[in-house]
Amino acid sequence: MRIPLYATIGTLFRGAESGSITKWMTSVHAYSSRTNWTALPKKSIRFNYNPFFAMEARHKLAARTPPPFRRALLAWYEHNRRDLPWRKTSDPYRIWISEIMLQQTRVAAVLPRYENFLRRFPSVKKLASAKIDSVLAEWSGLGYYHRARNLHAAARMVARERGGEFPETSKAWSDLPGIGRYTAAAISSIAFNEPVAVLDGNVERVLNRLLGNGHSRQESWNAAQELLDRKRPGDFNQAIMELGATICVPGEPLCSKCPVRNFCRTRGRGESGRRRPRQQKVSAAFVLASRGDSILLTRRSTVNRLMPGMWELPQAGNSFRRSDVLFTLRHSITVTDYTIAVVAQTPVREQTARWVRTSQINRLPLTGLARKILRRARIIE
């Protein structure tokens, strides 16, 4: 007589509401590793234990011996992590810069800007003493320029109010401008080994699949904290983020390569309940006007809601001819996909426009689109 798996686990977890995620995951791993899943009828493969009941209980994970989940994840990370420059340091300044740059930005886009930024501003005191336009110029191309403004403001607070000494706890980090719960936990766990968990989009997706959907964000934070390896919090946080970024990806995860698949409740089926907003399609045109070795640029108002004080090319009117188009390119900002026409046209006079020598352009805080156009035109590198 075949005993359904759910019945076996149900017997094991009598009074499961007072158990813990560790007990559940360890047992699932044990049964998973020695059970012939294909031989079981499909209706038998279900679980009658919700691991989130465990987080409401008072029992905490035993930190003395990391459970198999932690060991499997950390062993995988040690052999498979990407070679990234911010993983080669425990300097809180460098880790802080990387975390701010990586907010809503792909690693590939951050890599070239990270090293350049650190060469220009090698310390928090250098960053604090810099003019905001210089910081924005070095940030140009990464987008979300409020991050650079907050970074500059936070550097001034650290330099002037803390004597150049960085906070060592996530609570203290979160008092600085532009640093929320995730960023504070990431910096303090990686730089100072504080045992606090992170929860970004990658980690949340891993937890959704690992433990099943149907829980709040606060419950996800609780789960992340309970799973955390308290002896190696920085490595563990980076490992679970790396898992979400490279293996447990959106859509079709690479479950066959997952080091913790035996602990997974959904085996890749679970997804975040949020749907990505539909991309809007917009067309626009900009003027590329030159005079000798100078290019005409215009500056956005400092009270603009988007990218205040940034420099860009003047917008073209609607009367340009097809023969005026030098080239077209695509550009995306959050949920909008732009098709950009770059035209050779006598620009309308603008109060904020001025001719800028090509040798000086890189010193200005350019919008990402302006930088993309000027690179395409081979005016800047």
Cα–chain-centroid distance for residue 148?
15
Pairing between β-strand 336-343 and β-strand 280-287 as defined by DSSP bridges: parallel
- Measured CA to CA, the distance from residue 55 to residue 220 in angstroms comes to 10
The answer to whether the CB of 194 falls within 8 A of the CB of 99 is no
Tell me the H-state helices in the chain. 5-12, 21-34, 52-56, 68-80, 92-101, 107-120, 124-129, 132-139, 146-161, 170-173, 181-192, 201-211, 217-227, 233-246, 368-376
The catalytically annotated residue of 56, 99, 165, 381 is 99
Residue 341's SS3 state is: strand
The answer to whether the CB of 286 falls within 8 A of the CB of 342 is yes
Residue 251 dihedral angles phi and psi, to the nearest 5°: 80, -95
Per-residue burial over 111-137, b if 16 or more Cβ lie within 10 Å, else e, is: eebbeebbeebeebbebbebeeebbbb
Q: Between the CA atoms of 101, 102, 107 and 108, what dihedral angle is there, to the nearest 10 degrees?
A: -40
Residue 107 dihedral angles phi and psi, to the nearest 5°: -55, -40
Residue 342's SS3 state is: strand
For residue 248, give every residue at least 6 positions away whose Cβ sits within 8 Å of its Cβ, in sequence order, or none.
202, 205, 206, 209, 254, 258, 268
- Please say if 252 is a catalytic residue: no
- Measured CA to CA, the distance from residue 241 to residue 87 in angstroms comes to 13
First to last CA, the chain: 72
- Residue 240 token pair: 């679970």
- Measured CA to CA, the distance from residue 23 to residue 13 in angstroms comes to 9
What positions carry a catalytic annotation? 99
